[in-house]
A and B are shown apart, each in its own frame.
Chain A
């Protein structure tokens, strides 16, 4: 009998050992071999943007001798955030991490981070040099939580050659929903499977089109005044967007290229779709790689509505609280370098993201690019003409990633023939439930 107990005890001990060992693992030493402070930087920039980011980091590492920044690509924003959830708050967490804009609320509540405002106060860092609309997004209760880095907004890209062939003025992109629809009708060629208009199935675009009408996405001041309980997605502004998409879809002038950025971009470059909405981050690649003349235009609005501007998108860089003070200071030094005008100008030229620093617009390299490719300017003008309101500041909620997924499902249902108002109501109900569930567990 004794032996069984003994066996049981051994098993139990081994099991206990298994569960404990994960937390006991060795952390980063915080230093490189040659005595520099090591800053680990997680990011989600693939492709050309990834190379451009590496260029910034290499410049920084070469420029000074105390800090070594190591970049680690962690997949898409969603994937990177998922990874952070497993190591956040432990020594294994990175020093700096790039997080997309809708992760802002989650990060600020996560307990993994420390607001960059602490450093700003300590050093009297001059925040007025940052673009106000951009800093506005990441400021919660007057505190800047993370350093804006790659910011973009949604613009319209169109194929000027196709506009000419269809008898449209290539210098006058459509501005309203009905103008887009009329242009799309003329640009569609069903025999060749060429569509007039397309929009990526991504919740961000719906958020942008709502904000451009001046509509809040959530109650409680877009989630900025308190914990939101309800989404306003199924209001009249949301309905206008869905009806507009629905009509074009039923007419057969709307292309559906799924949820992948690369697929819709490939369709545009291959001439399969004449007008589409994309992030400004695609500007460099669209303008340089397309075998036709590319035009850019403002985000459209419903007829009779004054455009209110856009929410900034993209990402910001967060500082973790679980690393040593030395690493934090080194990380802050890197962040200051990132915000410098020349760094920002080069970054903007390489990608199409905006400079977050106003002075970057005076840099020669950026001015030359804007002169050569006026397509870059549309996005800048659109951002600068945006009035900073609660709507254009953007919504804040912890369950944003899940809510976006619901919106994406709803667009797919709409394209499958479901009724616009019904789809919106169902989706709003699901998002409200997500908000309620979150309230339950976040005490």
Chain B
């Protein structure tokens, strides 16, 4: 008994600091969020009335919330596969031994160095309805201009486009790192066996890259669910709530409308969704991942 207690104490010494930080910055806020989600708050953000699950019930019944969920899932669908495939494509290209490839590596990863705010502002000008570059190009081609950010049909696509551009840099670097880790000997022996480029790619490169791909997928999905900056700068959730993704919706309710109750309830729902998504990815994804 005494000994196990002592070893518990020693153990705590090791995990204590990180446990402390987790409590302050993760567990305490989570508990507080659950607490808020059961209350109505006054305009100053003070919880005044206990309402139990009413915030959740009203959310699930509200059109706006359902639309928000739908846009969020569509957004994840638009951005995750596109940005991973694009990054993979670029990484495979940049992994070739060609002269001057370093230049392209820098170019392909450069969007990593641009902050969300700066990047979004650049895109804001590209999308501008009357003096933007994109509509100018369309005009010279003789096609009708597109209301990139002001049409409910296009806004989500435009935001997705921006997000893909932003996340490609990071994904590219990680995937390129994964590619460079694959041992040269494997390709050499494949060459002796007479394997061509495509066989190499699908039989050696991709299977050995799968742990990296898995990591990139998990991270991109979570990032995608949590997108905020580009929406705040480009559309503020509009038009007609078509880009009111869940995190933006939480922000609106909490810090503009000062309804911490509804906002916390949404945050809890988002938490559960990401938890499930990550769990599923680990269960399904891990079986297909080939570790060396």
> Which residues of A pack against B, CB within 8 Å?
1, 3-4, 7, 11, 14-15, 18, 78, 82, 85, 88, 106, 109-110, 193, 201, 256-259, 263, 266-267, 270, 272, 398, 401-402, 405, 408-409, 412-413, 415-416, 437-438, 440-443
Contacts and interface: CB of A to CB of B under 8 A. Distances in A.
A273 to B, nearest CB: 8
Nearest to B44: A85
Nearest to B23: A11
A15 B130 contact: no
Interface string B211-223: 0000000000000
A78 B20 contact: no
Contacts of A109: 43
A272 B9 CA distance: 73
B16 A7 contact: yes
Given A258-B150, A267-B129, A270-B130, A442 B12 contact: no
Interface of B: 5, 8-9, 12, 16, 20, 23-24, 28, 40-45, 48-49, 128-131, 135, 139, 144-145, 147, 149-153, 236, 238-241, 252, 255-259
Contacts of A412: 152, 238-241
The 6 residue pairs across chains A and B that have the minimum distance between CB atoms: A412-B240, A412-B239, A258-B150, A267-B130, A272-B130, A441-B42
A438 B43 contact: yes
A109 B83 CA distance: 49
B128 A106 contact: no
Contacts of B128: 263, 266
Contact of A258 (B23, B41, B239, B257): B239
B129 A409 contact: no
Contacts of A409: 238-241
Contacts of A272: 130
Contacts of A1: 5
B238 A193 contact: no
Contacts of A11: 20, 23
B46 to A, nearest CB: 9
A398 B239 CA distance: 24
B131 A266 contact: yes
Contacts of B257: 401-402
Contacts of A82: 255-256
Given A85-B43, A408-B238, A409-B240, 12 more contacts: A4-B12, A78-B256, A82-B255, A85-B45, A110-B44, A256-B147, A258-B150, A263-B128, A412-B152, A413-B240, A440-B49, A442-B43
